[in-house]
């Protein structure tokens, strides 16, 4: 809950509040001067802060420090990964024009792949998912093995941002590894709630971002193996292994590391608490709205779904209408990905799972986080019956007209 105005915030999957430690680290560095590429004392101090942050983030996510490339966030990291892999592999072999990815990727991955197909001649294969929002491994295997010599990269998100469904990353890696195909995973949603180990995963590249972890907006990282060739998107001063030129933001990077340290160290405790809140939330919703449908994998745990996301379809209602009615009562949630908010189209994730347009439009995502409380859940459950009735009536009136 936002204590300053009584607002109930249930949109942590979009962005979660900064932890105090990250705010303090950012404020401390903002009071200092120094370009991390400069050789004088201030520059060396800034560089030391950056490298200590890089070492901490690498250690917490099972990577080597040299594998952490700082970016402006998840979108840039995803673009660098998929475009960089595609162009690099294409330069080695002009036949490698094929990209295999899942049908439920975030727009930060979906759109760059679509752009490559439209502007760069890429051939894309969008693999299907099941009713729980998990990729169908046999279909992905078929897409790869149809002509593996033509595949430049495979990318599959670690956990879906709308459903919370966790993907079988190790199986995906095993399929691609057999044909020497690099694999990238968007782990933005997973990083705060799953014990990620880049080395153990077998991935070649992995995206993380600070603002889903209690850090600031505007900084993230692409974790990428040292042996992986990648064509950069930005050219300039040669920072970050010459993969991402640009002056590094020391305050943002310091805050990113502080958030990672806090979030990962408290992860087990936080996951248990939030899972209990989610259970209370889901049971309460089904009790007050019996025809509500909870989407995604119903089972908890690192093989099934994230503990903080509850995606619910309300038959006969418009999700946008319910969202605004809840917002009027100081309860904030979303209809899916924040990046698609305001766009009058159904979720591509729900459509991929087999929902029709009407059902896809009638859904809300409630996502919990480190500041969520039992009172937040109770406030939602108290407001929901009246909101649901009003939204249902509005939908009937609209249908009749």
- The pLDDT value given to residue 359: 81
CA neighbor of 33 nearest in space, from 261, 247, 210: 247
Q: DSSP readout, 102-152?
A: ETT--HHHHHHHHHHHHHS--EEEEE-B-TTS-B-HHHHHHHHHTSGGGEE
Looking at the domain assignment, is residue 302 inside a domain? yes
- The pLDDT value given to residue 398: 72
pLDDT along the chain (401 residues), means of 10: 76 98 98 97 98 98 98 98 98 97 96 98 97 97 97 98 97 98 98 98 98 98 97 97 97 98 97 98 98 95 96 94 96 75 74 88 96 98 97 80 63
Looking at the domain assignment, is residue 154 inside a domain? yes
- The pLDDT value given to residue 395: 79
Where a domain ends, among 264, 292, 322? 264
- The pLDDT value given to residue 343: 55
User: Which parts of 161-280 are beta strand (E)?
Assistant: 183-186, 205-209, 220-224
My answer on whether 113 and 223 are in the same domain is yes
Which whole-number Å values give the CA distances from 116 to 124, 149, 216, 231, in the listed order? Answer: 9, 19, 30, 14
Domain, as residue range, for 317: 8-17+266-400
Task: Check if the beta carbon of residue 311 is closer than 8 Å to that of residue 295.
Answer: yes
Domain CATH number, residue 278:
3.90.1150.10
- The pLDDT value given to residue 337: 52
Where a domain ends, among 222, 249, 264? 264
Q: Give me the active site residues, please.
A: 339
Residue matched to tokens 């792949």 = 113
CA neighbor of 218 nearest in space, from 227, 229, 209, 207: 209
My answer on whether 284 and 247 are in the same domain is no
Residue matched to tokens 């502080």 = 258
- The pLDDT value given to residue 361: 87
Task: Check if the beta carbon of residue 193 is closer than 8 Å to that of residue 306.
Answer: yes
> What pairs with residue 9 in β-bridges?
332
CA neighbor of 70 nearest in space, from 53, 88, 46: 53
Two tokens, residue 3: 């204590």
Domain CATH number, residue 198:
3.40.640.10
My answer on whether 183 and 241 are in the same domain is yes
């Amino acid at each position: 809950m936002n204590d300053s105005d009584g607002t109930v915030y249930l949109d942590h999957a979009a962005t979660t509040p900064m932890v105090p430690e990250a705010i303090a680290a950012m404020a401390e560095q903002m009071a200092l001067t120094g370009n991390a590429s400069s050789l004088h004392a201030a520059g060396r101090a800034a560089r030391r802060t950056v490298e200590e942050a890089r070492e901490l983030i690498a250690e917490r996510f099972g990577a080597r420090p040299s594998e952490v490339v700082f970016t402006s966030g998840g979108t840039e990291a995803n673009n660098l990964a998929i475009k960089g892999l595609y162009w690099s592999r294409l330069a080695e072999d002009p036949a490698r024009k094929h990209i295999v990815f899942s049908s439920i990727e975030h727009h930060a991955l979906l759109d760059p792949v679509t752009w490559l197909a439209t502007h760069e001649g890429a051939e894309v294969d969008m693999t299907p998912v099941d009713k729980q929002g998990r990729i169908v491994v046999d279909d992905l295997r078929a897409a790869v093995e149809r002509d593996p010599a033509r595949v430049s990269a495979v990318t599959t998100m670690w956990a879906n941002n709308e459903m919370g469904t966790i993907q079988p990353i190790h199986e995906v890696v095993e399929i691609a590894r057999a044909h020497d195909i690099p694999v990238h995973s968007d782990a933005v949603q997973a990083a705060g709630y799953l014990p990620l180990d880049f080395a153990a995963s077998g991935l070649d590249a992995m995206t993380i971002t600070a603002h889903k972890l209690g850090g600031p907006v505007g900084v993230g990282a692409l974790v990428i193996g040292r042996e992986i060739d990648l064509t950069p998107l930005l050219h300039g001063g040669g920072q970050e292994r010459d993969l991402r030129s640009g002056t590094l933001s020391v305050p943002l990077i310091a805050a990113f590391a502080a958030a990672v340290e806090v979030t990962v160290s408290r992860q087990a405790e936080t996951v248990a608490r939030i899972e209990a809140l989610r259970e209370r939330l889901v049971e309460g919703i089904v009790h007050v709205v019996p025809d509500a449908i909870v989407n995604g994998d119903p089972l908890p745990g690192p093989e099934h779904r994230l503990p903080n996301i509850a995606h619910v379809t309300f038959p006969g209602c418009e999700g946008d209408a319910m969202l605004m009615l809840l917002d009027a009562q100081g309860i904030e949630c979303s209809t899916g990905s924040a990046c698609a908010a305001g766009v009058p189209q159904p979720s591509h994730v729900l459509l991929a799972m087999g929902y029709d347009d009407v059902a896809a439009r009638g859904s809300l995502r409630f996502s919990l986080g480190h500041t969520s409380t039992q009172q937040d859940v109770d406030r939602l459950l108290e407001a929901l019956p009246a909101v649901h009735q009003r939204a249902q009536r509005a939908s009937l009136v609209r249908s009749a007209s």
